A and B are shown apart, each in its own frame.
Chain A
Amino acid sequence: MKEQGLYHPSMEHDACGVGFVVKIDGTRTHQVVRDGVQILKNLVHRGAVGGDLKTGDGAGMILQIPHKFFSKVLKFPLPAEGKYGVGMLFLPRQGKDSDRAKKMIADQIAREGGKVLGWREVPVHPDCLGDMAREVMPSIWQIFATFDGLEGLALERRLYILRKVLENEAAKLGWGLEDFYIPSLSSRTVVYKGMFAAPQFDHFFIDLMDADLVSALAVVHQRYSTNTFPSWALAHPFHFVAHNGEINTLRGNINKMVAREGRISSDLFGAEIKKLLPIINLSLSDSGIFDNVFELLTLGGRSMEHTMMMMVPEAFGVKYHISEAKRAFFEYHAAIMEPWDGPAAIAFTDGTKIGAILDRNGLRPARYVITKSGLVVMASEVGVLDLNPPDILEKGMLAPGKMLLVDTAAKRVIKDNEIKSGIARHKPYRRWLEENRIELKGLLQVPGPVEVDQATLALRQRIFGYTLEDEKMILLPMAENAQEPVGSMGNDAALAVLSNRSQLLYNYFRQLFAQVTNPPIDPYRENLVMSLMSFVGRQGNLLDETPEHCHQLKLSHPILTNDDMERLRASNLASFRVCTVPMIFDATGSGGNLEKSVQALCSQVEQKLDEGYSLVILSDRDVGAGKAPIPALLAGSAVHQYLIRKGKRYLGGLVLETGEAREVHHFACLVGYGVNAINPYLVFESLADLKRRGHLSGKMTLEAAIENYITAIKKGLLKVMSKMGISTLRSYRGAQIFEAVGLNDEFVERYFPGTSSRIRGIGLEVVEQESLDRFKAAFQESRSNTETLDSGGSYHYRLNAEKHLFSPQAIVNLQKSVREGDYPTFKRYTSEVNDISKNLCTLRGLFRFKKGQPVPIEEVEPVETLVKRFVSSAMSFGSISKEAHETIAIAMNRLGASSNSGEGGEDEARYKPLPNGDSSKSSIKQVASARFGVTIDYLAHSRELQIKMAQGAKPGEGGQLPGHKVDELIARVRHSTPGVMLISPPPHHDIYSIEDLAQLIFDLKNANPEARISVKLVSEVGVGTVAAGVAKGKADMVLISGHDGGTGASPISSIKYAGSPWEIGLAEAQQVLVMNKLRDRIRVQVDGQLKTGRDVVIGAMLGAEEFGFGTTAVVTMGCIMMRKCHLNTCPVGVATQNPELRKRFSGKPEHLINFMKFMAQEVREIMAELGFRKFEDMVGRVDRLEVFEAVGHYKTQGLDFSKVLKVPEVPQGGAIRCVSAQTRDFSLSLDPELIKKAKNALEFKQPIVLEQKIRNCNRTVGTTLSYEIAKRYGLKGLPEDTIKIKFEGSAGQSFGAFLAHGVTFELEGDANDYFGKGLSGGKLIVYPPKSATFRPQDNIITGNVNLFGATGGEAYIHGRAGVRFGVRNSGAMAVVEGVGDHGCEYMTGGRVIILGQTGVNFAAGMSGGIAYVLDESQLFDTRCNLEMVDLEPVAEKEDREFLKTTIERHAKFTGSQYAKAILASWDEMLPRFVKVMPMDYKKAMAKMKEHQVKNSESAEMTEEVFL
């Protein structure tokens, strides 16, 4: 599908199920093929189908060349096996085009010296396909060819060259992937794939049914793509790999590969290597491009394992205990290639070896089983093949960063350690590094004194646009606290392109962030996987490895002090020379100088590199009269891109010495656009000046301030990277994880190619003008006598400074109107906000309605029905006060509209109506990453369940509620402890990918079949494709939030620089949903600084049916935009928990009700004027919007809204608004049957015992049953063990999710991911099949992310669990015999007993609850994150008794021999247990205990106790 409107194919994401099956001894059987197909069919729920409900997103398989089968079916003779190549070809369907393609292929083969043996049209049954797939189905051919008796690797290389030649030839002829694509061309493997869902696979390819089609191995893949524009080529597997996940750093990887191409050489290819270029086919997906590079490296001489270690290196930071050789291997290769970063489970094969690897974060599941009879099955889920339990030798899973390999030639399974130690030692990498790596002496040590040119400081600050706000709100907090400053509320300042003030170029760039398709990382609690280290200098030949490859400067982070710069310049290595090029342009001319200067800069740098310099410093230190600085981002990116185009970027490093960069976002932009390191000298001078003027606290030395500042920037960079799920700076650099808002195509194409910029805007001339404006203002005569800076006004309102949507007068008028119920005052408020002559802050300000035939207002839908489309945006109880939260709920309920609980849980007392008939229940319940108080009861008491994927003010980030805000009530509803800090993780730990979201939607639908399910996204480029994925995941509503939404607390740079305006995001979502025929079944909501009826109507026309009000709603209740929510000092009692301040809350439900009604009234007026009687008739009517051309702002002239206002083509049977509903398939759900059988238990509490077979396709078992219980009995559920069900088999995902009290599930077999998610009081018992012979404690029995967000209940697991066990547990008790990495992360309550080894980073962010770990190796403390917890012996009687009795129960329930053995020698074992105790929790518990003793009559605890 081509680019149209806001849809861009590069935004597609996919994820899925992946797997392989292999006979270790290499025996080829047809059964392996059948097994492969079976795996696919059992992973079908991980894939998706499109708008026609039939077209799958793709499935496929890599097999060994089936020589026997080919020999049978071909009408021409074949040479011996391995002496010919087979090409699988997707050619045009029409005979003529197909013939042309075939002729081209034959010609090229002849030219390349090959001989075509013959063609075979692959027989297929297209009848099973969906319409969308069939319409674009290619004709599928196989070609057979030989090359002069070549065989083995030599033949493979020949075929590789041939394929590249064919692809290049096709490209030359203008054939796209849809016209010409080669799934495989090899003498070893063949790929069958296409656009179908798994069950259609073997029906479509008849070959697969043939018993003679044999293979020893099969890699399979089921795709879930975020959209359905069908592409046969993009189905997996590719030539070598099948990938589940996402390569986030793709843009940077591509650029760096292109840059390296100039340097590639290899004896293996000789002169032919030129034919391989370009290495990367840019029309492919991330996985396809990964495959391109993987192929080059493996055929270029490295083994597959080696290549994987290079491209997907595991984390090797200091916190990992790995061998020096391995660490050296990774460091050495860091100088050659950056990681291809992002969540990834990759299966790969060359036909002989087959393996799989997990990325360093381990965010995709990869379970494997090895059987005694010599089969290895690896897949995203366990239970995809029925294996005989006694035959099972081992059940395992890939740990983060680990690899598994089966070598069918050697007939062995090779584990990670053996693979990596072998490769790490095959060259003396450690010695190479020691001898070649450059580490300038003293570099990056404590900064020395800073020289300040006091006389010109203020002048230079002004030249670079410094304001007082920059100093006080950015620099000082960073220098004082070593972290980014925090702010609150949303960003209502004008967009850069609409601002009248001179803007730095950075302000036109918005940070992208991960939502749904891949998870963000927690840069604080999980920073062990992250790294800012990089190598800078001249890079070597990619296909070679020599000691000189690492003869580069090693930087542990990219911020250089002034001393570092001096040392760099002073270093005098002949082999590593450093030079400086001025980054200045002539400010005296009439314009146009900037362009010339940038050009000159590029060629100067090129020349320096040609002269042999390895490091070029671009410096603006020379600014002064007549000499203006080239905007650093422009200079950096321009040079970087220029060098890439010239194929010279690998020749040296690029360091910026600039007075301009000061905020985290600035550094992120610079690095993101390719700069290697930055020296922000003016920041250091400013800090010195601030110190001199007494702004730094007394004891703080300047050196400490600078160190703190650098630390803050480092943390900030980690945060920006982590938002996108990127772990290393090496791969973040140049990855361009930004979109531009307000830059024109020509400018972007030239200096920031590859960046999306959807509404065009300004170009180089305006950038120059803005620079010169700053420059001239700095020299203004009237300013000569004062050194003080401009106020700024972009964070806090200042008159005559940056515009803000909420002007002071607007707030006053709004509050007056709703308090007095005075509509004319409300109109004054809206006209103030809408007045673009004064207040043009948003894109919608530039829109206007096309005139229509007015209708009498009486005929327009009444206020009463219109307000039902309005919701209050999610604000948690905790971020705002109880009074404010309940006032909102009451108001919305009175209107018959909905309020949103936010992510803080809800007091069940609110589920009952108030005496006066009001209800303070929030009808929308949010399910956010922390799952605070998300119990089955909470879920059952709602009309809508909203999954918050991102929040406008801080997309891609988590948050935390400081301990002092957590009072008794908040703690109770959040299931935590008063006074103890609460952390919201950045990702949902049950959503790492789109198919996981579909799973959570499925879970929630099970948890409350009555509620609709919605997903909250934040506008950014590509949000449309994500929305399509959400629609395919069967959500009922998708919410598109603007970047400017509010927050209780968020880093200032996130408030300002992440995400994009909702106008673009909403339009994109609407267009993609409509074009994909998905819009008819999903509703769309929008929020983000909606202020007036005009905003609502524009939202409707752009495609929204519903509207959320956050900031505006709280303003009606008294908020005056203090922006101090994060400090708990809200003086009007809205966003505070301080009891004194809460008394000042003066909001009334009537205020909000008046607001909503006024809003509806204004909407009605506009509708009448435009001629709409029904609101729904306006939805999606983008044709009724136009751009208000008369706005004569010099910056807005270049804006082009044609993509935003594009009217999408409506496919047949599609719609532009929601007219139907999602269809859901519960056919594999067990709950309906269980509920039927448990009827008496449900109604009369009669105990019942049931038995049930289960397999991995039976997902979310027990959840609807629990809903039925919660509906009747609330959270307390049924008496223990009322419903006991014994399951046998491999349980599907989310087994026992939200299981209610009174239900006991016993599972003989094993379980997949999300076992016991949100456990709400039920009991789970799992043990391996009784007939199994493996040792359960050494094998994986349950998957990843068990008991995530559990609030109560018990779990007994006989065997090991995967990674992230017990994350955000707040009340469940669990026993398990071993866990993977990140166990008990963010836990706030409950108890966990681990009778075996844990992975790394145990207890990170754990602020409550207790874990007991059996630490037999005495190494647990090295794997535990000790930041928030203490390790103690199990000394107290209470603990000892708890531990013993619980393990006894475990032994009893599961029959664990292991547990019995521990109990048998209890006195010996007890001292080996370690108690993991969160420090704050301990203090809070002690305090509570003390309090309880004092008030023996157990009076209710008051908040004061915890303040």
Chain B
Amino acid sequence: MGKSDGFLEYNRSLSPKRPVQERLKDYQEITKPLLSEEINKQGARCMDCGIPFCHAIGCPISNLIPEWNDAVYRGQWHDAYERLSLTNNLPEVTGRVCPAPCETACTLAINCAPVTIEQIELSIIEKAFAEGWVKPQPPAKETGKKIAVVGSGPAGLAAAQQLRRAGHSVTLFEKSSKIGGLLRFGIPDFKLEKWVLDRRIEQMNAEGVRFETNVDAGVSVSAAELKKNFDAILLTMGAGAPRDLKVPGRELSGVHYAMEFLTLSNKAISGEIKSDQIISAKGKTVLVIGGGDTGSDCVGTSNRQGAKKVYQFEILPKPREWKEPWNPSWPNWPLILRTSTSHEEGCERDWAITTKKFTGKDGKVHEAHCVRVVWELDKSTGQYSMKEIPGSEFVLQVDLVLLAMGFVHVEHSKLLTDLGVQFDARGNIQTNPSFMSSVPGVFAAGDTVRGASLVVWAISQGRQAARAVDLYLKS
């Protein structure tokens, strides 16, 4: 359906972004919502493909994208919401922070500009909240089964909601003071304001999910107790162990993991801590090491805190620049240079650089010693290996270094040791295709299993694991 020639009639158009100068002054979201008529047109661009690659290859949770695009085009927002809520527990989150692999898989991305799927998703769910359509959906029948979900990131939230709606009694354990995990403490407000989470948590509360915050499962409540009191345990605590940069000078003050920096910043914004308790970039020269999304978030946060200058170094070579609106690797995720809103706000990016050591003054980091590298293909193994370029060494004066080099695996906490779950070679929890770990009745999903990945993958895993737990409890 859609409008059969809508893609010929209308151009792709995204929500306008607030001007850089304005948005640097606050932590509010960067984009302004589009008028609904414009969204209707964007929906009209969907061709209702015989094979919707967005849904089938692009979207990890198999959002029924053509169905809600069509509904939006026709102004049937309620229908759109119904279709959207069939597959996604947190569209208000994915609508804001997802890199949208659906759009790169959109059929229009073969030779034209894809449908603005993410923006439509966000419009639908915001409309649904505004109209009061998002109501608690408590189960009609209680099964009497009890499930503990550990970790309240996207995987945990999605799983908890699904399991609760299936009639199980669900307790969600969170070691922090608030629910949301990485969504709340990892992602800056300018990408995801936290009332968005509160709103969803409220719904889940009303549906009967029990939230236990400030409970470090395995410590505050022992693994044995969990096993005793619950029919099943689902582990969704993410991949919290950050990748470290083991070079001389790492111990200097002013060298931090990105997540430390972001968490404190987020807590300060929400008022959980005072503003002087953060790691501040104010007036500092900041070096962000790592070219991914977390690094980018560090850039945006640093700039908002009033950094003097922000650098971002990436060890891999600069990806190819691609100005066209279509996807050269359709329907797969293209490896191209991406410029985030944080980059727009001021940042010097450089690639193929590795950091050899930090040197400091008075125990504080003062210089980063870097060298340029090349990547060479070893034809026998098919692997790329890195080689330093002699003579390319350089030194950068820095006041703050943020390590955003990704995460290695789930934190191997007491809970996991006590439960006795096995890990895979990469240190993630090992599960079978039904999401069960080596310990019967103990399931795991999300980054905990896959390693650090997208929010939408976490939701997908959470939902699938919930179904697996449900089937397990029924059998």
> A residues near B, CB below 8 A?
468, 472, 489, 693-695, 781-782, 784-788, 791, 795-800, 804, 806-809, 811-812, 1118, 1120-1124, 1127, 1129, 1131-1132, 1138, 1140-1141, 1144, 1146
Proximity bits, B27-61, A CB within 8 Å = 1, else 0: 00000000000000000000111111101110000
**Counting CB contacts under 8 A, is B279 at the interface?**
no
Is B86 a contact of A786 with CB atoms below 8 Å? yes
A1120 touches B57 (CB 8 A): no
| Given pairs A791-B67, A806-B51, A808-B331, 5 additional interface contacts (CB within 8 A) | A1122-B51, A1123-B50, A1124-B4, A1127-B5, A1129-B7
Contact status of A797 and B56, CB under 8 A, knowing A786-B85, A1131-B107: yes
> Are B1 and A1121 within 8 A (Cβ)?
no
CB contacts (< 8 Å) of A1124 on chain B: these are 4, 47, 50
Nearest-neighbour CB distance to chain A for B263, whole angstroms, equals 35
CA distance A800 to B49 in the complex (A): 17
Interface residues of B in 106-148 (CB under 8 A from A): 107-108, 110-112, 137, 139-141
A1121 touches B51 (CB 8 A): yes
B406 within 8 A of A: no
Q: Which among B51, B67, B139 is the interface contact of A468 at CB below 8 angstroms?
A: B67
Q: Which of the 9-residue segments B75-83, B151-159, B264-272, B353-361 touches chain A?
A: B75-83
B66 within 8 A of A: yes
Residues of A near B78 (CB, < 8 A) are 693
Cβ of B50 and Cβ of A808 under 8 Å apart? no
CB distance from B469 to the nearest CB of A (A): 13
Asked if B401 is an interface residue, CB under 8 A from chain A, the answer is no
CB distance from A1321 to the nearest CB of B (A): 41
Distance (whole angstroms) from the CB of A1314 to the closest CB of chain B: 41
Residues A785 and B57 in contact in the complex (CB < 8 Å), given A796-B52, A1120-B110: no
How distant is the Cα of A1001 from the Cα of B165 in the complex, in angstroms? 67
Contact A799 B62 (CB under 8 A): yes
B343 close to chain A: CB less than 8 A:
no
Nearest CB of chain B from residue A1290's CB, rounded to whole Å: 55
Complex interface: chain A residues within 8 A of B165 (CB): 782, 785
| 19 A–B contacts, CB within 8 A, in A order | A489-B50, A694-B76, A695-B79, A784-B140, A786-B86, A788-B82, A791-B64, A797-B50, A798-B55, A799-B56, A808-B51, A808-B57, A808-B331, A1120-B107, A1121-B51, A1122-B47, A1131-B107, A1131-B108, A1138-B8
Q: Which residues of A contact B79 (CB under 8 A)?
A: 693, 695, 788
Q: A786-B86, A788-B82, A798-B64 are in contact. Are A1129 and B5 (CB under 8 A)?
A: yes
B314-327 interface mask toward A, CB cutoff 8 Å, 1 = contact, 0 = none?
A: 00000000000000
Q: Give A692 Cβ to nearest chain B Cβ, in Å.
A: 11
**Knowing A796-B49, A808-B51 touch, does A781 contact B141 (C-beta < 8 A)?**
yes
C-alpha gap A803/B124 in the complex (Å)? 29
Chain B residues in contact with chain A, CB under 8 A?
A: 1, 4-5, 7-8, 47-53, 55-57, 62, 64, 66-67, 70, 74-76, 78-79, 82-83, 85-86, 107-108, 110-112, 137, 139-141, 165-167, 331-332
State how many angstroms separate the Cβ of A783 from the closest Cβ of chain B. 10
Min CB gap B328→A, angstroms: 12
CB-CB < 8 A to B108: which residues of A? 1131
Q: Is the CB of B139 within 8 A of A1120?
A: no
Given contacts A782-B165, A796-B66, A1120-B110, contact A1131 B55 (CB under 8 A): no
Cα distance, A189 to B425, chains bound together (Å): 95
A1132 touches B111 (CB 8 A): yes
Say which residue of A786, A799, A812 sits within 8 Å of B55 (CB atoms). A799
Residue ID in chain A nearest B470 by CB atoms: A782
Contact A812 B50, beta carbon cutoff 8 Å: no
**Pair A808/B56 contact, Cβ less than 8 Å:** yes
State whether B111 touches A796 (Cβ < 8 A). no
Cross-chain contact of A1132 among B55, B74, B76, B110 (Cβ < 8 A): B110
A489: nearest residue on chain B (CB-CB)? B50
Bound complex: CA A1129 to CA B57 (Å): 23
The verdict on A781 contacting B76 (CB below 8 Å), with A1129-B4, A1132-B111 known, is: no
Chain B residues positioned under 8 Å from A807 (CB to CB): 56
Name the A residues within 8 Å of B83 (CB-CB): 468, 788
CA distance A923 to B70 in the complex (A): 43
Docked pose: A1138 CA to B9 CA in angstroms: 13
In the complex, how many angstroms separate the beta carbon of A1496 from the nearest chain B beta carbon? Answer: 33
Pick from B1, B66, B167: contact of A781, CB below 8 A. Answer: B167
Question: A residues within 8 A CB of B85?
Answer: 786
Main SS at interface, chain A: loop
Q: A796-B66, A1121-B51, A1129-B5 are in contact. Are A1146 and B137 (CB under 8 A)?
A: no
Residue of A nearest to B137 (CB): A785
Q: What are the 4 closest A-B residue pairs judged by CB atoms, nearest first?
A: A1123-B50, A785-B137, A788-B82, A808-B56
- What distance in Å separates the Cβ of B86 from its nearest Cβ neighbour in chain A? 7
Q: How far is the CA of A812 from the CA of B331 in the complex (A)?
A: 8
Q: Which residues of B are found within 8 Å of A1141, using beta-carbon distances?
A: 8
Expressed in whole angstroms, the Cα–Cα distance for A786 and B135 within the complex equals 11
Instruction: Give bound CA distance, A629 to B384, whole Å.
Output: 63
Please measure, in the bound complex, the distance between the C-alpha atom of A1127 and the C-alpha atom of B1, giving whole angstroms: 11
Q: How far is the CA of A791 from the CA of B49 in the complex (A)?
A: 14
Residues of B within 8 A of A695 (CB): 74, 76, 79
Max chain B C-beta neighbours (<10 A), residue from A472, A782, A804, A811:
A782
A782 to B57 Cα, complex, angstroms: 26
In the complex, A468 Cα to B8 Cα: how many Å? 26
Contact status B8-A1140, CB under 8 Å = yes
Which of chain B's residues has its CB closest to A472's CB? B1
Please name all residues of chain B whose beta carbon is closer than 8 Å to the beta carbon of A785 when the two chains form the complex.
137, 140, 165
A782 to B166, Cβ gap below 8 A?
Answer: yes
Please, which residues of chain A bring their CB within 8 A of the CB of B5? 1127, 1129
Contact between A1131 and B111, CB atoms less than 8 A apart:
yes
Cβ contacts under 8 Å, A468 to chain B: 67, 83
A67–B50 Cα gap in the complex (Å)?
A: 74
**Smallest CB separation, A806 vs chain B (Å):** 7
CB distance from B249 to the nearest CB of A (A): 46
In the complex, what distance in Å separates the CA atom of A806 from the CA atom of B50? 11
Q: Which residues of A contact B55 (CB under 8 A)?
A: 798-799
Q: Verify A811–B51 contact, CB threshold 8 A.
A: yes
Residue in A694, A787, A1118 with the greatest tally of chain B CB atoms within 10 Å:
A694
Closest to B165 in A: A782
Give every chain A residue within 8 A of B50 (Cβ-Cβ). Answer: 489, 795-797, 1120-1124
A489–B49 alpha-carbon span in the complex (Å): 12
Q: Which residue of B lies closest to A797 (CB)?
A: B51
Which of A782, A786, A1120 is B49 in contact with, Cβ under 8 Å? A1120
**Measured CA separation A798–B74 after assembly (Å):** 21
Q: Which residues of B contact A782 (CB under 8 A)?
A: 139, 165-167
A697's closest neighbor in chain B, by CB?
A: B74
**Minimum CB–CB distance for A1377 against chain B, Å:** 49
Task: Name, among B49, B74, B82, the residue most crowded by chain A CB atoms within 10 Å (CB to CB).
Answer: B49
Please report the C-alpha to C-alpha distance between residue A1140 and residue B66 in the assembled complex, in whole angstroms.
Answer: 24
Residue of chain B at shortest CB distance from A791: B64
Closest to B135 in A: A785
Whose C-beta in chain B lies nearest to the C-beta of A1140?
B8
> How distant is B332 from chain A, measured CB to nearest CB, in Å?
8
For the complex formed, measure the closest distance between the CB of A744 and the CB atoms of chain B, giving whole angstroms. 32
> What separation, in Å, do the CA atoms of A694 and B78 have in the docked complex?
10
Chain B's nearest CB lies how many Å from the CB of A145? 71
In the assembled complex, the Cα of A1144 lies from the Cα of B85 at a distance in Å of: 35
Contact A1127 B4 (CB under 8 A): yes
> A1131 near B331 (CB under 8 angstroms)?
no
Contact A796 B110 (CB under 8 A): no
Q: How far is the CA of A1129 from the CA of B49 in the complex (A)?
A: 11
Return B7 CB to nearest CB of chain A, in Å. 7
Task: Write the chain B residue with the least CB distance to A787.
Answer: B82
A1122 CB contact (under 8 Å) in B64, B107, B112, B331: B107
The reply to whether B51 and A796 form a contact with Cβ atoms under 8 Å apart is: yes
Chain B's closest residue to A1145 (CB) is: B111
Q: Which residues of B contact A812 (CB under 8 A)?
A: 53, 57, 331-332
Are B8 and A1129 in contact, with the CB atoms below 8 A? Answer: yes
